């Protein structure tokens, strides 16, 4: 059932990418306005992945997760940096 939902999401939004069983090496949560901003780094991937939640989430460090995301850029201290915005994340 979940595969069907992911495939439909990928069909409707061509810019989305889905990856499975990525190992989390770093998971940081910090408050930003009324949101909790989550930043995740994966093993063998040098780009940070980000998502927001209203409440704090359990720590994902060391876990393997499935993620659906899209590439974006963010300007930090005058430098453009590639990031990935997570649309869906689930422990695999």
Mean pLDDT in consecutive groups of 10 residues from the start of the chain, 92 residues: 70 84 97 95 96 92 95 93 94 91
**Prediction pTM value:** 0.85
Per the structure block, which two tokens stand in for 81? 């940096």
Domains annotated on the chain, with CATH? 2-91 (2.40.50.460)
pLDDT at 13: 76
pLDDT at 74: 93
pLDDT at 2: 67
Q: How far is CA 63 from the centre of its chain?
A: 13
Coil/strand/helix, residue 3 = helix
């Amino acid at each position: 059932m979940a595969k069907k939902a992911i495939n439909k999401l990928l069909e409707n939004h061509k810019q989305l990418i889905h990856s499975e069983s990525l190992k989390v090496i770093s998971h940081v949560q910090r408050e930003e306005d009324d949101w909790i901003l989550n930043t995740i780094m994966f093993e063998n991937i040098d780009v940070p992945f980000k998502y927001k939640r209203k409440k704090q989430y359990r720590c994902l460090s060391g876990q393997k997760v499935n993620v659906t995301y899209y590439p974006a850029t963010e300007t930090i201290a005058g430098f453009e940096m590639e990031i990935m915005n997570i649309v869906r994340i689930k422990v695999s």
